[in-house]
A and B are shown apart, each in its own frame.
Chain A
Amino acid sequence: MSGIDRYAALLGRSLRLLFKRERDRRRYANSPYAWLFQPYMGEELVALACQVTPGPAPVLSIAAVVMNQQHIQLSHAWVATFADAETACGKTVRRHQELYDTQTTLRFSAQALKGLAEFIGNRPLIGWQLEQQLAMLNSAFRVHLGFGLPNAQVDVARLHQRQLRRRHPLVESSCQFPEALACWQIPTIAARGLLGKAAASALLYMRLQRDMAQSG
């Protein structure tokens, strides 16, 4: 019985998601953001990596890079740190810029977030433990634009777990990003900071896609 319950719950969840998406699509049909809610028909994806320092004045760094099945367009990446100039701790912002190699600092504002939304468009997002990474960003979107990122999402961590379970059902797998990279023999990409992480998750995604295609 519990099995049926689980499937019912899953079905309920995806139905809810479907309804929500349809509702949002109608709600924003006449806003400038309408196109973000349209289903994506292309080949491209956006690999994303976020890093957040929580607190009363949170600082958020993000790298997004467009990819398709073969190319990762590192030259057209979107990399920035979001912080509120008045309240955020200057040291934290500088640390973000150093550690994650971001060169632009933006304020949390409708204008800046719109820029990011336009870069991502309605393309699906991929990332390592994407939901956690996006939590803070989504809340910022809600505050300033009234909606969270509506894109389809692929969590590479979940793909990794699933593929690993398929191959080695009895092995207890770890959920650390560097270990996953080593496990799938992803070469280190010579890109520093967050962009490197985004590119690495893109490569991991490509690798897992191939593995899935091979194992059928």
Chain B
Amino acid sequence: MVDVDLSQLPFTLLDDEGRDHVRRSMDLAYFERDSIILETGEKGEHVFLVHKGDVAEIDPTLPAASARLGHYTAGDLFGAISILNGKSRYRFQAEQECLCYLLPRALFLQLCRQYPPFEQFFRQSLAHKARLLTEKRAEGGVTMAGFMLASVGECMREPLLMDAQGSIADAVRKLNDSHADSLLVETRGKLGMVTKTDLLNGLVVEGFTQETPVDQVAHFSLVTVTPVQYLFEALVLMTRHKVTRVVVMEQASLKGVVELTDVLSYFSSRSYVVSLQVEQANDLDTLAVASQRTPELVRALMAQGVKLRFAMDLLAALNGRIMNKAWEFTVNETHHSHSCLMVMGSEGRGEQILKTDQDNGLILDDDAPWPDVSGDMQRLTDTLIRLGYPPCPGNIMVSNPQWVASVSQWKNSIIQWASVRDGDSLMKLAILLDAHAVAGNPRLLESVREALFEHCARDEILLSYLARTALRFSTPLTLFGSLKKPQHGIDIKKGGIFPIVHGVRTMALERRIGVTSTLGRLEALADDGRLERRVADDLGEALSLFTELRLKQQLGSQEINDAHSNRVIVQELSSLERDLLRESLHIVKDFKQHLSHRYHLEYS
């Protein structure tokens, strides 16, 4: 019997009996250097588990430079898809002398029949594999994982519903009887929330009597979630809307209420502490202290295996609140309504996890009276630097008069950039496309964005110029395996993140999608029918994986702007991670082809 290590995926999806069966049926094969293990179109007879050596996956129809699709080393598995599909899509060739364990086709098919999860592992999409990886990481004895995977339904409490005609006195009695902090009232088909604070304010500030109907003090703009959403999303919503309870609705019917204290009893990590600190900060010093804690929060969340998407959402909400506070501290309140502070770049997309450069700009109302705008903006930039946001090397900041303009000036700039179409203008357009309002009057940004869509969405030539940038860096698939020194590695930002972000941004411009986050844009593009749902999901997962790998690298290295922080060293990854990275890069490659087809970039 072969004593091969079967403690990795996908063999962990079998039971002991199945693994025993695998061990009994494994053969060993030796392949010479450059010999072809499995030819294109050949019927797969075995699943190969590499014991020693390197195997390259090659598409012989492509020119040599781009033919190499993948790379398998010790512990990797290949040939399974060939069996499931009936024949091999690519050629597998030994890069060095190889020893492989062979699992016969008949047994593999039998295992697929007996263990459906095992079969699914080979058939499933990337999204699913990524989830497996997250779950596996989370297994490391972390209680947080339970929280992260917990849904709202597991944590909500029964709603306390009250007749709208009941009086304030009734409401107080009901609250005391059930030891609750809030109750819901229903009037004319609408739900409203009444908290203890509302009751106090109603009685003392508004001067209502105890007999006043309770719906007078209720407020009806509720933040709702569905029972299947992750609990973490509820927390993000609370942070974003500055509320302490959300209502759980399922298809317009009331299911329950989730209170902040309930969530916190699940979640005793630092995130809420940080956001509370931000909210309570009354001066710059306390705000700076709170702001400095966000990297620590990121580290904690990552260590606990939180899905990056949620961590990004939470961080974006937090960063938004910090900026907003900084704005309130530095800019006189009279200017708030006729100006809008926007953040751009990764901040604008809500994909900034660690504090990177500040990319921001200011939009003024056309006739806004603000003589000392440059002085105020200089102070704002300085404040943000103090809060831990380093200045932008490209000087895309409000302290730069170029990025402070009135609505009509912005519109003119857009027209000019769109007609010039040189590198600099295209970059500025791309930056502006990601703009997101964090303080002031968001309607100003909306009108600028509207003009941007109006002017650019139908301009095929401009779109083609814009899309071309996404193809600028080659996908580093060919570099697999030949990298040895740690200072090398794959540039994950150029090879993976940038093509997805930029390609999706271009498509979003074309389809006039106002959302700025890449994942949100993908969602909208899928709804729009511009992208297949499966493609959109895969792209989203690929992006999350790249971001996560990059974040790990960044957390590991001392300086955030270190040039190496974007480089991922393939050899350091686990075999499943390597598998995921390979698949993700495939997805990027397909997406680039899609872009080049859509925007006619084949000959450019």
Contacts and interface: CB of A to CB of B under 8 A. Distances in A.
B113 to A, nearest CB: 20
A44 B578 CA distance: 37
B209 to A, nearest CB: 82
A70 interface: yes
A174 interface: no
B180 interface: no
Given A70-B31, A101-B1, A195-B1, A187 B51 contact: yes
Chain B contact residues, majority secondary structure? strand
A111 interface: no
A68 to B, nearest CB: 10
A71 B102 CA distance: 9
Contact of B26 (A75, A101, A192, A210): A75
B593 interface: no
What is the interface residue range for chain A against chain B?
Answer: 10 to 19
A164 interface: no
Contacts of B135: none
A196 B27 CA distance: 12
A73 B26 CA distance: 8
A74 B3 CA distance: 11
Contacts of A203: 28, 30, 99
Interface string A103-122: 00000000000000000000
A137 interface: no
Interface in A15-35: none
Given A192-B3, A195-B1, A72 B51 contact: no
Interface in B1-48: 1-5, 24-32
A163 to B, nearest CB: 17
A99 interface: no
B3 A70 contact: no
B298 to A, nearest CB: 40
Contacts of A143: none
B317 to A, nearest CB: 50
Nearest to B4: A190
A72 B29 contact: yes
B30 A70 contact: yes
Nearest to B35: A70
A189 B104 CA distance: 19
Nearest to A71: B29
A8 interface: no
B3 A72 contact: no
Residue from the set A71, A72, A74, A203 with the largest chain B CB neighbour count within 10 Å: A74
B27 A75 contact: yes
Contacts of A206: 30
Contacts of A210: 32
B27 A73 contact: yes
A70 B99 contact: no
A190 to B, nearest CB: 5
Contacts of B30: 70-72, 203, 206
A126 interface: no
B99 A187 contact: yes
A61 to B, nearest CB: 14
A95 B3 CA distance: 19
B3 A190 contact: yes
A75 B3 contact: no
17 contacts: A70-B29, A70-B30, A71-B30, A72-B28, A72-B29, A72-B30, A74-B28, A75-B2, A187-B52, A189-B28, A190-B2, A190-B3, A191-B1, A191-B2, A196-B3, A203-B30, A203-B99
Interface of A: 70-75, 101, 187, 189-192, 195-196, 199, 203, 206, 210
The 4 closest A-B pairs by CB, nearest first: A72-B28, A190-B3, A187-B52, A75-B25
